[in-house]
């Protein structure tokens, strides 16, 4: 069946009223296929909705995933109403199908979902100014704050062990040992760098096990373009793209944002002299994130923010090297040493953060008090 007919078939499964007047691909997402559908409804005019074909190659369990999204957005909606916000614009609204399910399946087996379209807001692909990065920290901090009393353990772990750095270290060691395509001999320096720091892989997990760090709702894809920015106020309005919402640690989200957002170079930069963790950008994001959290994080969580940045970067470097050793089966590559280059930028960032460790902690302390 062609795409247009599939779309019509899907639209008929949701409880929409009105006549479809336009369907077009929308946005610049890379994971799901996103469409804007416009309905003409009597007395209401044109009503837009977002329709997405979910990527089940990546997300193997779309039913659990949608249950997570429905639970989190329902909770957010209540919170937003409590503080007098606009629940139609400040969180995603999942559209149920005619059987009350938060998704539907087309005749080819694809899973689809619908959201109310949030108007008067834009998602920006690039961080252009410090203000953008600050707003991003503020928005993801607020996300933590609003969900601070959500029972995170009730969410499905849609990608098991996603930030289980300890488990990822074991996979890495196995990849080194098996060395299936004989690459280990060329990357001894990187392997040793990781092994010398292997205790890093345990740090956050042990703190979680000792209950020093509480289980939280984490977003796990904290890019700028996963925030809708209000066109009028230029402030973060709504966190979108909740596919990877899972139980985790608040410092995971913070750390991943620093890893990619405070770096002075691209993830695959070959000239490592260009790669640093920029302390100004670190401060900008930290300020936004802590302010956004509105006192809802524990002191231990805030003090662990630099550790979150270090461990997330270490984990990412280790994952790139694992994939390189396993023959590049997970991350898409454009050339044969792409994953190695990516690993090197991450390890360079780790080394740079170690050098700047006191400064990072000093910055965090400044915004805690």
| DSSP sequence for 78-129 | HHHHHTT--HHHHS--EEPBTTS-S-EE-TTS-EEEEEEPPPSEE--SS--S
CB 127 within 8 A of CB 226: no
Q: How far is the CB of 329 from ligand ATP (least distance, A)?
A: 20
Interface segment toward ligand ATP; rule CB under 6 A; list 74-82, 128-136, 238-246, 334-342: 238-246
Closer to ligand ATP at the Cβ: 139 or 297?
139
Which one of ligand ATP, Mg ion, none interacts with residue 34, CB within 5 to 8 A by kind? Answer: ligand ATP
Separation of alpha carbons 305 and 249, rounded Å: 10
CB 314 within 8 A of CB 196: no
Residues 234-253 that bind Mg ion (CB under 5 A): 241, 243
Q: How far is the CB of 114 from ligand ATP (least distance, A)?
A: 9
282 part of the interface to ligand ATP, by CB under 6 A:
no
Closer to Mg ion at the Cβ: 26 or 367?
26
Which one of ligand ATP, Mg ion, none interacts with residue 30, CB within 5 to 8 A by kind? Answer: ligand ATP
31 part of the interface to Mg ion, by CB under 5 A:
yes
Query: Who contacts 332 (Cβ-Cβ below 8 Å, separation ≥6)?
Result: none
Interface segment toward Mg ion; rule CB under 5 A; list 65-73, 96-104, 223-231, 325-333: 223-231
Closer to Mg ion at the Cβ: 35 or 282?
35
Start-end of H helices in the chain:
3-13, 62-82, 87-90, 130-146, 165-178, 188-196, 200-209, 250-261, 279-293, 299-303, 305-325, 338-355, 357-368
226 part of the interface to Mg ion, by CB under 5 A:
yes
CB 96 within 8 A of CB 69: no
> Within 13 Å, how many C-alpha atoms sit on residue 108's CB side?
13
Q: How far is the CB of 121 from ligand ATP (least distance, A)?
A: 7
Q: How far is the CB of 158 from Mg ion (least distance, A)?
A: 12
Interface segment toward ligand ATP; rule CB under 6 A; list 4-12, 27-35, 176-184, 339-347: 27-35
Rg of the chain over Cα atoms, rounded to whole angstroms, equals 21
Separation of alpha carbons 272 and 287, rounded Å: 28
Site string for ligand ATP, 42-61 (x = CB under 6 A): --------x-----------
Binding site for ligand ATP (CB under 6 A): 26-27, 29-32, 34, 50, 92, 115, 117-118, 123, 221, 225-226, 240-241, 243
């Amino acid at each position: 069946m062609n795409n247009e007919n599939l779309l019509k078939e899907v639209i008929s499964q949701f409880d929409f009223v009105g006549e479809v007047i336009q369907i077009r691909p929308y946005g610049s997402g890379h994971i799901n296929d996103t469409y804007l559908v416009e309905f003409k409804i009597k007395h209401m005019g044109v009503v837009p909705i977002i329709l997405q074909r979910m990527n089940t190659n990546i997300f193997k369990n779309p039913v659990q995933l949608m249950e997570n999204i429905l639970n989190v957005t329902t909770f957010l909606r209540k919170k937003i109403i409590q503080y007098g916000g606009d629940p139609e614009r400040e969180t995603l609204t999942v559209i149920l199908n005619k059987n009350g399910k938060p998704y539907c399946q087309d005749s080819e087996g694809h899973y689809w979902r619908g959201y109310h379209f949030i108007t008067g807001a834009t998602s920006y692909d690039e961080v252009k100014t410090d203000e953008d990065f600050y707003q991003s920290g503020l928005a993801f901090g607020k996300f933590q704050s609003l969900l601070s009393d959500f029972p995170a353990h009730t969410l499905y772990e849609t990608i098991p062990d996603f930030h289980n750095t300890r488990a990822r270290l074991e996979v890495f060691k196995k990849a080194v040992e098996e060395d299936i395509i004989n690459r280990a001999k060329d990357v001894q320096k990187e392997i040793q760098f990781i092994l010398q720091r292997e205790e890093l892989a345990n740090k956050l997990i042990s703190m979680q096990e000792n209950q020093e760090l509480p289980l939280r709702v984490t977003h796990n894809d904290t890019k700028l373009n996963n925030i809708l920015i209000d066109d009028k106020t230029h402030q973060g309005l709504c966190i979108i793209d909740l596919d990877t919402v899972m139980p985790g640690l608040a410092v995971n989200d913070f750390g991943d944002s620093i890893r990619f957002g405070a770096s002075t170079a691209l993830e695959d930069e070959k000239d490592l002299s260009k790669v640093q963790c920029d302390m100004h950008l670190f401060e900008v994001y930290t300020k936004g994130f802590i302010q956004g959290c509105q006192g809802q994080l524990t002191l231990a969580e805030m003090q662990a923010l630099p550790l979150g940045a270090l461990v997330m970067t270490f984990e990412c470097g280790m994952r790139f090297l694992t994939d390189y050793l396993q023959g590049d089966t997970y991350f898409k590559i454009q050339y044969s040493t792409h994953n190695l280059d990516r690993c090197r930028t991450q390890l360079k960032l780790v080394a740079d953060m170690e050098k700047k460790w006191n400064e990072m902690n000093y910055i965090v302390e400044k915004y805690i008090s």
